[in-house]
Amino acid sequence: MVQITELPHLRHPEHMSLHRSVDRIVDVLDMVARADVPLTVSELARRLRVPRSSVHDIALGLVSRGWLIRTERGLSIGPAPLVLELLAARHVQWARIDVEAIAERFNTATAIAVLLGRHVVYTARSQRPFDERLAVVADQYLPRNPLTTAAGRLLLSAAPEDVRAKVLRDARPAHPELVDEYERLLPTIRRRRTAWSDGLSQEPVAAVAVFPDRDDREALVLFGHRGIDTALLKTAAHELTSDGPS
């Protein structure tokens, strides 16, 4: 008796739909990454020759997960692809910091953050009690505004001058007071290698970021409740900048 082997694409028709969906997502990412300027949903649909509604739904999902970012002119690549590269490169410096040990030492939630372009992204976090919204941000590697986060303020202080200038220039029209405040605090942040965010990003959250060693590519962030954990965070920041991470 001859055994007939079905072709994969005939065996599971639903897989064809799944592959088409994946192909379309990849096509959107590839098109945006290769474009010289941000692309609108309509322009993407025209270039890919697919319905605008399909591209719109894909774009919304990719923006929500940090794969794309929405600008005034259209869609650009977000930090998520770069985060995957960081996570795959286990030899990079930030992978050596034990966030769990530091969380245990100071009895607080901790995270590691890096500056990717003009965004801050958390690459790791402790399992200690963490604000639910911040946990989602960390776990999904969502982009954060560097001027409203302790990590961003610290990482910007060590960033190349042209990178910092662009971030501040882009932020000034919408948040001139925030930019002015950061420029005033910049010398102190550099001198102390420490930056604070007291409710700037999330109303009930206070955070302090430090460079735990001589590597300025990553920031160690400790989180607490505003008005309650200030003393604890100050002690932790002082110890970490004095003797490095445990």
User: pLDDT tens across 63-111, in order?
Assistant: 888 888 888 889 988 877 777 776 665 444 444 678 899 999 999 999 9
Share of the chain above pLDDT 90, in %: 41
The pLDDT value recorded for residue 88 is 62
**Both tokens assigned to 59:** 């774009």
The answer to whether 8-78 and 82-243 have equal CATH topology is no
Non-local (6+) Cβ contacts of 149 within 8 A are 113, 120, 197, 200, 201, 207, 209, 221
Within a 10 A sphere around the Cβ of 138, how many other Cβ atoms?
Answer: 23
List the beta bridge partners of residue 224.
Answer: 206
Residue extents of the structural domains in the chain: 8-78, 82-243
What band does 5 get if pLDDT is binned at 50, 70 and 90?
Answer: very low
The pLDDT value recorded for residue 89 is 57
Mean pLDDT taken over the chain:
83
Domain topology for 82-243: Beta-Lactamase (3.30.450)
The mean per-residue pLDDT over the stretch 117-145 comes to 82
Please tell me whether the overall predicted TM-score, pTM, comes out greater than 0.75 for this model: no
Over the stretch 33-63, which tens digit does the pLDDT of each residue have? 888 888 999 999 999 999 999 999 999 999 8
The mean per-residue pLDDT over the stretch 136-156 comes to 89
**Which residue did the predictor score with more confidence, 1 or 223?**
223
- Statement: 8-78 belongs to CATH 3.40.50.2000: no
The pLDDT value recorded for residue 216 is 82
CB 200 within 8 A of CB 153: no
**Both tokens assigned to 73:** 């002119």
